[in-house]
Amino acid sequence: MRSLALVTLAALPLLLSAQQTFEAASVHAAEPGNLKGVRGGCRGVDSKSNSSDGVILPLGRCVISDGRLSHLIFIAWQLKAISMIENAPDWVIGGDERFTIQAKAENPKATEAELLGMLQNLLVERFHLKFHREDRQESGFSLVVAKGGPKLEKAKDDDVTGLDPFNKGNPTLTISAHRFSMSGLASLLSTFGPGNVTDETGLSDSYNFKLIWNNTEGPSVFSALQQLGLRLEPHKVPISYFVIESAQRPGDN
């Protein structure tokens, strides 16, 4: 039996008034004929990289291009997978409507967590977003270090965070990751792997690695991870679902 907890936002206006907002921010519909896929993010003073998906970000900025509202929610609330968003209207989760955000904090030394909080407030305000969280315990996996230790290449300070190439072909999936944390790998495995994955490796550095698996012909994702000195253990994992109650398309701003 799953455990269920609801977090309601009845006091949303009060919460927003007590939290920080951007000094300047714009949300625009992306041009349909010039879409390049969602990219970008937020760069705080404590961010490990000055780049997100190849986009060079100034300090104290959030710049996200060509994202559905589901992508924006995924980034702002740091969800492990898009599948954690439930009850989303078609235009939010899989439609052709995408948006570009450019936002600047008053304090250029804002932390990444502070910027993400501002981004959350911006989405709630501009998309009239109402939601609640549902916390459940579900079957999943813990990502742990295998016997013999990790076999990972530590990223250099000037390495740029990203995935290149990234092949989601069926049945072979290839992930070439640069400057990725183990929590980032767990997030990828939650989306494209065998189920929900939490990072229990205890590894705090960023790494460059390549992971290839084929669910039909092999190697399996379990065998592929062993080559990195990692493994997946079946485990009950806490999943916090993002349940949309209502959302509206933003007006011109």
Do 104 and 22 form a contact (C-beta atoms < 8 A)? yes
| Confidence bin at 9 (pLDDT 50/70/90) | very low
Of 16 and 130, which is predicted with more confidence? Answer: 130
pLDDT mean over 47-59: 69
Q: Do 129 and 158 belong together in one domain?
A: no
Exposed/middle/buried for residue 38 (C-beta within 10 Å: 0-12, 13-18, 19+): buried
pLDDT of the residue at 2? 37
Q: Is residue 36 part of a domain?
A: yes
| pLDDT of residue 13 exceeding 50 | no
Q: What mean pLDDT, rounded, does the chain reach?
A: 84
| pLDDT of residue 25 exceeding 90 | yes
| pLDDT of residue 10 exceeding 50 | no
Q: Is residue 251 part of a domain?
A: no
pLDDT mean over 63-74: 94
pLDDT tens digits, one per residue of 181-216: 898 899 888 888 888 899 999 999 989 999 999 888
Q: Do 10 and 131 belong together in one domain?
A: yes
| pLDDT of residue 45 exceeding 70 | yes
Q: Is residue 161 part of a domain?
A: yes
Q: To 5 degrees, how large is the angle CA 180–CA 79–CA 60? A: 70
The distance of Cα 165 from the centroid of its chain, to the nearest Å, equals 18
Q: Do 15 and 109 belong together in one domain?
A: yes
pLDDT of the residue at 208? 92
pLDDT tens digits, one per residue of 124-152: 999 999 999 999 998 999 999 999 999 99
% pLDDT > 90, the chain: 53
Q: Do 60 and 94 belong together in one domain?
A: yes
Which residue reads 């229990």 in tokens?
A: 200
Q: Is residue 253 part of a domain?
A: no
Range of the domain at 162: 136-238
Q: Do 119 and 12 belong together in one domain?
A: yes
pLDDT of the residue at 177? 85
pLDDT of the residue at 12? 41
pLDDT mean over 33-53: 77
Helix (H, G, I), strand (E, B) or coil at 246: strand
Q: Is residue 76 part of a domain?
A: yes
Of 165 and 160, which is predicted with more confidence? Answer: 160
pLDDT of the residue at 19? 58
Q: Do 9 and 108 belong together in one domain?
A: yes
pLDDT mean over 220-226: 94
Q: Do 160 and 120 belong together in one domain?
A: no
Q: Is residue 84 part of a domain?
A: yes
- Provide the 8-state DSSP code for 37: -
Q: Do 124 and 10 belong together in one domain?
A: yes
pLDDT of the residue at 62? 95
**Number of Cβ atoms within 10 Å of the Cβ of 139:** 10
Q: Is residue 252 part of a domain?
A: no
Q: Do 117 and 202 belong together in one domain?
A: no
Q: Do 105 and 151 belong together in one domain?
A: no
Give me 104's structure tokens: 């600047």
pLDDT mean over 42-63: 78
Helix (H, G, I), strand (E, B) or coil at 102: strand
Q: To 5 degrees, how large is the angle CA 237–CA 76–CA 242? A: 45
Q: Do 211 and 228 belong together in one domain?
A: yes
Domain count, the chain: 2
Q: Do 129 and 140 belong together in one domain?
A: no
Do 208 and 155 form a contact (C-beta atoms < 8 A)? yes
Q: Is residue 197 part of a domain?
A: yes
pLDDT of the residue at 28? 93
